[in-house]
Structure 1
Amino acid sequence: MERPHVVMLSAPGQGHINPMLKLADILHSKGFFITFVTTDHTHQKVLASQGPDALQGFVGFRFEIIPDGVSLPSSGSQEHVVKWCLVTYENCVAPFKDLLMRLNNSTGVPKITCVVYNWLMTFALHVAEELRIPAFVFMTMSACGFIGSLYLDDLIQRGYTPLKDESQLTNGYLDTPVDFLPGLKDIRLRDLPSFIRTVDADGLIFKFGKVASEKCLEAKGLILNTFDLLETDVLNVLNSMFQKVYTIGPLLSHIVTGPTKSLCLNLWKEEDHGYMEWLDQQRPSSVIYVNFGSLITITTEELIEFAWGLANSNHPFLWVIRPDLVEGHCDILPKGFIDKTKDRSYLLSWCAQEEVISHNSIGGFLTHCGWNSTLESVNSGVPMICWPRFDDQCTNARYICKQWGTGIEIDEDVQREQVTGKLKELMEGDKGKEMRKNVIHWKQRAKSATIQGGSSYENIVRLTMDITRIFS
């Protein structure tokens, strides 16, 4: 007997693959046939880090690859990310269409029921519509970050953006309150997705952010990795804009059994596996975990300020320093840093973040505030020190600090004294105790959302029923 067949298309990038793979895992556990599609760029990164076995698949779960022609680096500035998406868009339309047609004519493979695509892969909606296949869009950023992008036209009409000149980046203009966006609270211009910080209305980032967000409105439904109580006001607005909205997060909280449980696609290789043993030797809630994600790059000067800020805090820390984290350099930690911190530090190039952040020794998380990292902190009850760089990270940081009370923010122009001060405030001060109390509160709410009867659990049920109706 055939079963519903969901084709899932992830955007290239670790932060997009992880939640999409977890959703695929859940749907597969509900009896769905899954085809998980990655681009060739992603495929090559996975092969280099994990070997060919990672993409073998198993009964009812298969991997497919489409060529993308990507030769750009997989990390860098916001402009790099947008160029990456545009190149993918230009090169993937025909291969993705060919793949869907081939799957629908393959022996032993069920007919495609629907496509679930990452919101950055806007071409997938066009292809699905052409082939008369229903398509759902999967949003990998926060609801609060997404809604800021949806109201870009209003920001333009009211003269908030584009900026009049580049002086407005530094003269305090970005602190202007923005109080007319529905659902958002206590937001300044600097807290909105960072592509609005441009002087060019025809700029690459500006136009892509607008088009990609608006295109989502055409999908059959919007799937969000969040939960109702975390972003209630924003979700009420989105529910009025989209045909259907499915809040199903935090995805990592759902209990899933079966062969996909250990499935992961890592774009970075773990060269060091001793970090968990090191964490086991630390006192509960004593370690600061530092990781700026899989994408951003920082300057040598910023790395040095963070290094000495951590060293001077006198707290133990585990710091992930990707080989390409620092622009154009590696092995540039300041002289004397290793000697000063060797008895209370662990440095590595990559790690299993979910495993680390949930370890009982972790007491705080110094983060770029990507949405996956934010949810993982909430899910593990770990307060945050926020240093957002671009996209929805800016909105996430504002909500972390002002709405949820689970973090404090470091200035964009990072200085070692402030890093040390914020670390001590989180690990030792009354503010840190309050943040820890708040994040435990949200951890409990996240868990409640994903157990049977919870809002996210029921929305998974609703999503699977809606897909099954299409199949029927």
Structure 2
Amino acid sequence: MGKPHALALPYPAQGHVIPLMEFSNCLAERGFKITFVLTEFIHKRIMTALSEDSDIKNQIHCVSIPDGMGPGEDRNQIGKLLECILSAMPGYLEKLIEKINESCEDKITCIIADENMGWAVKVAKKMGIPQAAFWPANACLRALLIRIPQLIESGVIDANGKTRKQEMIQLSSTLPVMDTTQLMWHCFDDPKLQQIIFHFVFTNNQAVKDADWLLCNSSYEIEPSAYSLNPNLLPIGPLLAGTRQRQLVGNFWQEDSTCLSWLNQQPACSVIYVSFGSFTVLEESQFHELALGLELTGHRFLWVVRPDLTAGQAATYPDGFQDRVAARRRIVSWAPQQKVLAHPSIACFITHCGWNSTMEGVSTGVPFLCWPYFADQFLNQAFISDVWKVGLRLNSDHNGIISREEIKQKVEEVLGNDNIRARALALKEMVKKSVSEGGSSMKNLNDLVEAMKGTR
């Protein structure tokens, strides 16, 4: 009998690729052969960003299929991308599996699909292959999304996802309160795009509910009451909590590791780390306000400024800013975030609150300042500030701008609050325990591996 052979398929976005790549690494270490399927566009980006000494090719076989869009088309047009994925990718995936199974001694024994690519579960069922659906975000959001039919039935939203009743929903007393006007598809202004995303989410929910295994990148400990609301959901994370010894792969930009040498020269708990992930875009006025806010704090800071962080143009800094802060700043285009957050010089993390960044911050015991941009990030902010109480919200003014004074004030507040730091360190230990041998997530992962091996 050959090796168990898992085919993994993430949604083509940074925050989806990385946790599924990490899960694939866990399976590879436990004897699985891995075929990791990316869209052609994302595959090219990742291969370009990989460092020369990366050992991904020894562990994981990355392949690509088309996403249905033309070579020069903008993948940030989410509505168009979703429609193309649904129409083109199922056929390409089926052909790829057939090709692998004809030419390879180790045939595909299971398919692990991001829940946002739920159609892949249908492909797997059609081909008689066991399937796992992987939810890369928190279990609370998933619990809300699988209740879409009830939300429609009770008149909270209509059949296209539009809010009919403004309500505050709390699925359980230990989960965050959610505003029905801020459901994840409402983060876009265009009503047509909202409708496309709503139907995409609903279709995925229906497609994955009968998968053989339902997995999520979370743990019982950090959102305990979410699992009774998610039948059969197995938490196997946070996957990024246990990877300190391994180089993280799946980045869309090349990491600038020179910032670690700079951090080595800074005192303990003295540096503000600022990063907004792969998707956030700031208007120039907000970018300037952030720069001046960091200057105003008087603290050292490490700031990740992606080439596309500012809307439609390269970032321009306020006059004289770079010179005035030269002695206490490091600005990079992309950072090895796990290593940065684990560094003793980091004092706090100004973040967009993506789930991966949230889990990395939680796993390293760093206090947060929350600056969510879209989708699940507002819910993650509520976990950080209201449930776990390991950080504070940055609030915008009447013009929708987070001011330099607000940044200065909240930095002082979070750094001066010993209770926040103590809770952050306690949460770190809790998470570390869940992914260590004997912990709840590690036990789920080990049981899952045995079950997957048993399907051969």
Cα distance 1:437–1:162, how it changes in 2: closer, same or farther (>3 A)?
farther
Report the equivalent of 1:392. Answer: 376
Partner of 1:94: 91
1:188 aligns with 2:178: yes
- Give the CA deviation at 1:336: 2.4
Deviation at 1:106, TM superposition (A): 1.6
Among 225, 230, 243, the residue aligned to 2:217: 225
Contact residue 450 and residue 457 of structure 1 kept, 8 A: yes
Structure 2 residue 119 is matched with structure 1 residue 123:
yes
Shift of 1:312: 0.8
Distance 2:33 2:280 in 1: 35
Residues 177-204 of structure 1 deviation map (CA, whole Å, 9 limit, x = unaligned): 224x357635131695421467958722
Partner of residue 30, structure 1: 30
The match for 1:158 is 154
CA contact (8 A) 2:66 2:92 kept: yes
Which residue of 1 is the match for residue 238 of structure 2?
Answer: 250
Shift of 1:421: 1.0
Structure 1 counterpart of 2:409: 421
Instruction: Map Cα deviations across residues 4-32 of structure 1 (whole Å, 9 max, x no partner).
Output: 11111122122111111111111111111
* Contact 2:51/2:254 (8 A) holds in 1: no
Residues 50 and 355 of structure 1: CA distance in aligned 2, closer, same or farther (over 3 Å): same
C-alpha contact (below 8 Å) 2:152/2:159 kept by paired residues: no
* Contact 1:192-1:395 at 8 Å conserved across structures: no
Give the Å deviation of 1:315: 1.1
Q: 2: distance between equivalents of 1:154 and 1:417?
A: 43
Distance across 1 between alignment mates of 2:41 and 2:202: 25
The 1:24/1:183 distance shift into structure 2, 3 A limit, reads: farther
Map of 2:395 onto structure 1: 411
Counterpart AA for 2:427 = W
Aligned residues: 447
Structure 2: gaps (5+ residues)? none
1:47 aligns with 2:37: no
Secondary structure in 2 matching 1:462: helix
Q: Is the 8 A contact 1:162 1:199 kept in 2?
A: no
Partner of 1:354: 338
Output the amino acid matched with 2:142. Answer: F
The SS at the match of 1:136 is strand
Q: 1:2: Cα distance to partner?
A: 0.8
State the secondary structure of the residue aligned to 2:116. Answer: coil
Q: 1:185 to 1:13 in 2, by over 3 A?
A: closer
SS at 2:48's partner residue? helix
CA distance in 2, matches of 1:411, 1:37: 40
Equivalent position amino acid for 2:406 in 1: Q
SS at match of 2:272: strand
Hey, what does 1:144 align to over in structure 2? 140
Q: Distance in 1 between matches of 2:176 and 2:340?
A: 32
Deviations 1:340-395 (CA, angstroms, capped at 9, x unpaired)? 22111111111111111111111100001000000000100001111111111111
Q: Structure 2 vs 1, CA of residues 155 and 24 (structure 1 numbering), >3 Å: closer, same or farther?
A: same
Is contact 1:381–1:442 with CA below 8 Å preserved after alignment?
yes
State the 1:3 CA deviation: 1.9
Q: Once the 2 structures are TM-superposed, how far is the Cα of residue 266 of structure 1 from its aligned partner?
A: 2.3
Contact 1:25/1:256 (<8 A) preserved: no
Deviations 1:38-73 (A, max 9, x none): 110111112332379869723x63222112234544
The answer to whether the 8 A contact 1:383-1:436 is kept is yes
Contact 1:162–1:196 (8 Å) recurs in 2: no
Aligned match for 1:368, one of 352, 370, 380: 352
Distance 1:85 1:163 in 2: 19
Worse-matched range after superposition: 12-21 or 410-419:
410-419
Q: Give CA-to-partner distance per residue, 1:449-468, whole Å, 9 cap, x none.
A: 11111101100111111102
Please name the residue that 1:104 is paired with: 101
- For the Cα contact (< 8 Å) 1:145–1:193, is it kept in 2? no
State the distance in 2 between where 1:224 and 1:439 align. Answer: 22
Deviations 1:238-293 (A, max 9, x none): 1x3xxx32211111233698xxx4462321123x4421111111111111100000
Aligned-partner residue type, residue 205 of structure 2 = S
Residues 320 and 163 from structure 1, CA distance in 2 versus in 1: closer, same or farther, beyond 3 angstroms?
Answer: farther
Equivalent residue number for residue 308 of structure 1: 292
Contact (CA 8 Å) 1:193, 1:395: kept in 2 or not?
no
Measure, in 2, the Cα distance between the counterparts of 1:263 and 1:378: 17
Residue 177 in structure 1 maps to residue 176 in structure 2: no
Relative to structure 2, which stretch is displaced further, 206-215 or 388-397?
206-215
TM-score, length basis structure 1: 0.88
Query: Aligned residue for 1:447?
Result: 432
**Which residue of the partner structure matches residue 421 of structure 2?**
436
Does structure 1 conserve the Cα–Cα contact (< 8 Å) formed by 2:119 and 2:207? no
Match of 1:461 in 2: 446
Partner-residue secondary structure (3-state), 2:198: helix
Residue 61 in 1 paired to residue 60 in 2?
Answer: yes
CA distance in 2, matches of 1:110, 1:186: 45
- Report the residue type matching 1:245 in the other structure: L
Cross-structure match for 1:278 = 262
Given candidates 296, 318, 341, the residue that maps to 2:280 is 296
Structure 1 SS opposite 2:228: helix
Q: 1-side partners of 2:244 and 2:426: how far apart?
A: 24
Task: Report % sequence identity.
Answer: 31
Letter in 1 for 2:204: A
Q: Does structure 1 retain, via aligned residues, the 8 Å contact 2:118–2:205?
A: no
CA distance in 2, matches of 1:194, 1:264: 27
Structure 1's 291 and 163: CA in aligned 2 closer, same or farther, altered over 3 A? Answer: farther
Q: Which amino acid aligns with 1:417?
A: E
Mapped to 2, the partners of 1:424 and 1:42 lie a distance apart of 40
Give the deviation of 1:213 after TM superposition. Answer: 3.2
SS at match of 2:87: helix
SS at match of 1:317: strand
Q: Distance in 2 between matches of 1:150 and 1:341?
A: 48
Query: How big is the shift at 1:163?
Result: 12
| Structure 1 SS opposite 2:177 | coil
